[in-house]
Chains A and B, each alone.
Chain A
């Protein structure tokens, strides 16, 4: 685009394409933050007993009567926050992974990260749940995700790691992890079978404050960290040779970004279970909204991810009362068809 045909920004300087993009980014960001706030308030109000949103706001401001403190603070708030944090982590993890493998279909679920977490979690549920406290389940899931991704990285290594090899090896490992999970589920007793399934589908049911506080640092540290690397990530999308020529240490950068993505996805999956498709959908939507700049995409993708999961959970626990459907069912029920539509729309890109 030629700068001189663009409208002029204030100050007389001709507006460049990047000015317009930044403006657009800020608009989108503000809109998403407002949507998140509205959803947050709705989520705290909605449930088996409907609370007046004004009442909820008064309570949040510390001026409430305190009669709903238990419902808001203990039941609804942690669940809402955990859904949002997990969604944000998954959205950002998917975006980073897609950048690393240079393909819009890359995501932690497709390349085996979620599969590794599932193996560890189902192993824990089937064989250890009787003797070890359930508090250690998230740690087991993170360890599983880490081991699986280390395996993928090591097996894809051949004088460096290329995106194509990473994806293909990841798909193989994902299939193997799926088989191991199935084996444990089939051989376990009925009770552990259904709780393993519940975990794999993904649910934020029964979230506690300490869950939220354990997930928060991952999200609060890793997402800003990934923005710091955005310049190199943008260059890397041009191809390995170009990036090397421009002074990017391709292999090192790829490893770091992969580690960030895996940690985010592993942490989210550890607390919310195997919620799928967020890492595939959120980045797509983000690209539609703010273009291709990595620094803009990270926050937008994270916000969209948190909106998706939180909305799914609010609907899942209110629309089917008295049933409380796992949020993961709704996410994949709506996310999967939408994902196919996106694939079809974007097939020329």
Chain B
């Protein structure tokens, strides 16, 4: 596989550039919006806060939390996607295409409708359970049976599980209109109108997931070189795989409980990261984190402008960016197999 940065110093440089891109995207997401704010004011709001200045208040009360949430979700989904692609050896894998997001959403909707769940921490645990159920279902359906894991089987199993959870979510919502109103923003995927308090309970889990992914990256490298090779090198592959699934569930479920259905980040970013640094997951994971955060921040900025004065739900935005990419990959892979 050809990739852009083949030398180690180039990879470090790329990482620094990605960091700069992330910082620029973060600053832009603070500055742009309904009320454009100059970058100096953004700087002042962060470091010389003055609550009598309206712009400072806008930044600290609404934009900062929004940008932080977008960055955390983008990084989490991208890392979850890269682990899922490694685990299933499937280029089309991602938390959204494999039904993990819709599983988490169905559980949240059902929890809100039947058990009147309303606290953020409860939503989070429910989302973890939903993500885990969906992930296990897809994994069992995709990998069992004659012929082992086949790419086609996985993608179809993922699509079927997605259809399943979407249909069940619709069923709950159509019988219980009251909960429809309260969960609508989860369905569309959005990072707007959320306070930092919503992110804080989930952040430790996300950060744990990021670090665990980074620590595991060497084992992931060994696993991707083949099941036999990994076993020959003394790896307990079942444990590595279980840990990967646990991290995916943590990151995808956590993202859904804050931001709802935001798709395709986990599909696109791992491909870009592999294009830049090759197949070494010790590099792929940090690149995914930075690029995923940047892409979601940029998508969120774009979502504020495409249909002014309204805002487009960011989940729709990422789907519109992601679909052409998915189809491009589908055409390319299917041509090869």
* Per-residue A-contact encoding for B245-273, CB less than 8 Å = 1, 0 else: 00000000000000001011000000000
**Interface residue from A164, A274, A332, A343 paired with B168 (Cβ < 8 Å):** A332
A342 to chain B, nearest CB (A): 10
Residue A156, interface by CB 8 Å: yes
Tell whether, in the assembled complex, residue A332 and residue B187 are in contact, meaning their CB atoms are under 8 Å apart. no
Chain B residues lying within 8 Å of A179, measured Cβ to Cβ, are 263, 315-316, 319-320, 323
Tell whether, in the assembled complex, residue B330 and residue A347 are in contact, meaning their CB atoms are under 8 Å apart. no
**Mostly helix, strand, loop or mixed at chain A's interface?**
helix
Provided the pairs A179-B316, A182-B315, A336-B167 are in contact, do residues A326 and B331 lie with their beta carbons within 8 angstroms?
A: no
Provided the pairs A105-B160, A182-B315 are in contact, do residues A336 and B168 lie with their beta carbons within 8 angstroms?
A: yes
Q: Output the nearest chain A residue to B141 by Cβ-Cβ distance.
A: A343
Tell whether, in the assembled complex, residue A168 and residue B97 are in contact, meaning their CB atoms are under 8 Å apart. no
Chain B residues lying within 8 Å of A274, measured Cβ to Cβ, are 170
Specify which of B171, B181, B320 lies most central, judged by the most chain A CB atoms within 10 Å of its CB.
B171
Residue A193, interface by CB 8 Å: yes
Tell whether, in the assembled complex, residue A186 and residue B184 are in contact, meaning their CB atoms are under 8 Å apart. yes
Tally of contact residues, A, Cβ under 8 A:
53
Residue A187, interface by CB 8 Å: yes
Residue A183, interface by CB 8 Å: yes
A123 to chain B, nearest CB (A): 14
**Interface residue from B164, B189, B327 paired with A172 (Cβ < 8 Å):** B327
Tally of contact residues, B, Cβ under 8 A:
53
* Per-residue A-contact encoding for B78-102, CB less than 8 Å = 1, 0 else: 0000000000000010001100000
Tell whether, in the assembled complex, residue A156 and residue B180 are in contact, meaning their CB atoms are under 8 Å apart. no
Which B residues from 159 to 207 make CB contacts under 8 A with A? 159-160, 163-164, 166-168, 170-171, 173-175, 177, 180-181, 184-185, 187-189
A119 to chain B, nearest CB (A): 12
Chain A residues lying within 8 Å of B310, measured Cβ to Cβ, are 187
Tell whether, in the assembled complex, residue A105 and residue B157 are in contact, meaning their CB atoms are under 8 Å apart. yes
Residue A173, interface by CB 8 Å: yes
**Interface residue from A156, A339, A349 paired with B160 (Cβ < 8 Å):** A339
Tell whether, in the assembled complex, residue B163 and residue A110 are in contact, meaning their CB atoms are under 8 Å apart. yes
Chain A residues lying within 8 Å of B32, measured Cβ to Cβ, are none
Q: Output the nearest chain B residue to A325 by Cβ-Cβ distance.
A: B175
Chain B residues lying within 8 Å of A178, measured Cβ to Cβ, are 166, 319
Provided the pairs A167-B152, A329-B174, A343-B141 are in contact, do residues A110 and B160 lie with their beta carbons within 8 angstroms?
A: yes
Tell whether, in the assembled complex, residue A197 and residue B170 are in contact, meaning their CB atoms are under 8 Å apart. yes
Residue B130, interface by CB 8 Å: no
Chain A residues lying within 8 Å of B312, measured Cβ to Cβ, are 183
Chain B residues lying within 8 Å of A336, measured Cβ to Cβ, are 164, 167-168
Tell whether, in the assembled complex, residue A201 and residue B331 are in contact, meaning their CB atoms are under 8 Å apart. no
* Per-residue B-contact encoding for A60-73, CB less than 8 Å = 1, 0 else: 00000000000000
Q: Output the nearest chain B residue to A157 by Cβ-Cβ distance.
A: B331
Chain B residues lying within 8 Å of A174, measured Cβ to Cβ, are 159
A328 to chain B, nearest CB (A): 7
**Interface residue from A164, A165, A175, A190 paired with B326 (Cβ < 8 Å):** A175
Residue A333, interface by CB 8 Å: yes
Specify which of B96, B174, B263 lies most central, judged by the most chain A CB atoms within 10 Å of its CB.
B174
**Interface residue from A164, A175, A201 paired with B170 (Cβ < 8 Å):** A201
**Interface residue from A168, A200, A277, A328 paired with B333 (Cβ < 8 Å):** A168
Tell whether, in the assembled complex, residue A276 and residue B335 are in contact, meaning their CB atoms are under 8 Å apart. no
Q: Output the nearest chain A residue to B337 by Cβ-Cβ distance.
A: A164
Tell whether, in the assembled complex, residue B331 and residue A340 are in contact, meaning their CB atoms are under 8 Å apart. no
Provided the pairs A158-B331, A169-B331, A171-B97 are in contact, do residues A339 and B177 lie with their beta carbons within 8 angstroms?
A: no
Tell whether, in the assembled complex, residue B145 and residue A198 are in contact, meaning their CB atoms are under 8 Å apart. no
- What separation, in Å, do the CA atoms of A146 and B163 have in the docked complex? 20
Provided the pairs A105-B160, A165-B331, A193-B180 are in contact, do residues A176 and B320 lie with their beta carbons within 8 angstroms?
A: yes
* Per-residue A-contact encoding for B300-337, CB less than 8 Å = 1, 0 else: 00000000001011011001101100110011011101
Chain A residues lying within 8 Å of B155, measured Cβ to Cβ, are 167-168, 171
Tell whether, in the assembled complex, residue A155 and residue B331 are in contact, meaning their CB atoms are under 8 Å apart. yes
Chain B residues lying within 8 Å of A200, measured Cβ to Cβ, are 170
B88 to chain A, nearest CB (A): 14
Chain A residues lying within 8 Å of B177, measured Cβ to Cβ, are 194
Tell whether, in the assembled complex, residue B145 and residue A182 are in contact, meaning their CB atoms are under 8 Å apart. no
Tell whether, in the assembled complex, residue B188 and residue A186 are in contact, meaning their CB atoms are under 8 Å apart. yes
Which A residues from 303 to 349 make CB contacts under 8 A with B? 325-326, 328-329, 332-333, 336, 339-340, 343-344, 347-349
Tell whether, in the assembled complex, residue A103 and residue B156 are in contact, meaning their CB atoms are under 8 Å apart. yes
- What separation, in Å, do the CA atoms of A142 and B64 have in the docked complex? 45
A166 to chain B, nearest CB (A): 9
A285 to chain B, nearest CB (A): 16
Residue B21, interface by CB 8 Å: no
Residue B61, interface by CB 8 Å: no
Residue A265, interface by CB 8 Å: no
A181 to chain B, nearest CB (A): 10
Residue A211, interface by CB 8 Å: no
List, sorted by A's number, 20 A–B pairs whose CB atoms are closer than 8 Å.
A109-B163, A158-B331, A164-B152, A165-B331, A165-B335, A167-B155, A168-B327, A171-B156, A172-B326, A173-B327, A175-B264, A176-B320, A182-B187, A183-B312, A185-B188, A186-B188, A274-B170, A340-B137, A343-B160, A344-B141
In the A-B complex, the 7 residue pairs with the smallest Cβ-Cβ separation, listed nearest first, are A179-B319, A168-B330, A347-B145, A332-B167, A176-B323, A165-B334, A329-B171
For the A-B complex with A172-B326, A172-B330, A183-B313 known, give 18 more contacts whose Cβ atoms are closer than 8 Å: A106-B156, A109-B163, A110-B159, A110-B163, A167-B152, A168-B92, A171-B155, A173-B323, A179-B315, A179-B316, A190-B181, A197-B174, A201-B171, A274-B170, A333-B168, A336-B167, A336-B168, A348-B145
- A interface residues, Cβ below 8 angstroms from B: 103, 105-106, 109-110, 155-156, 158, 162, 164-165, 167-169, 171-176, 178-180, 182-183, 185-187, 190, 193-194, 197-198, 200-201, 274, 276-277, 280, 325-326, 328-329, 332-333, 336, 339-340, 343-344, 347-349
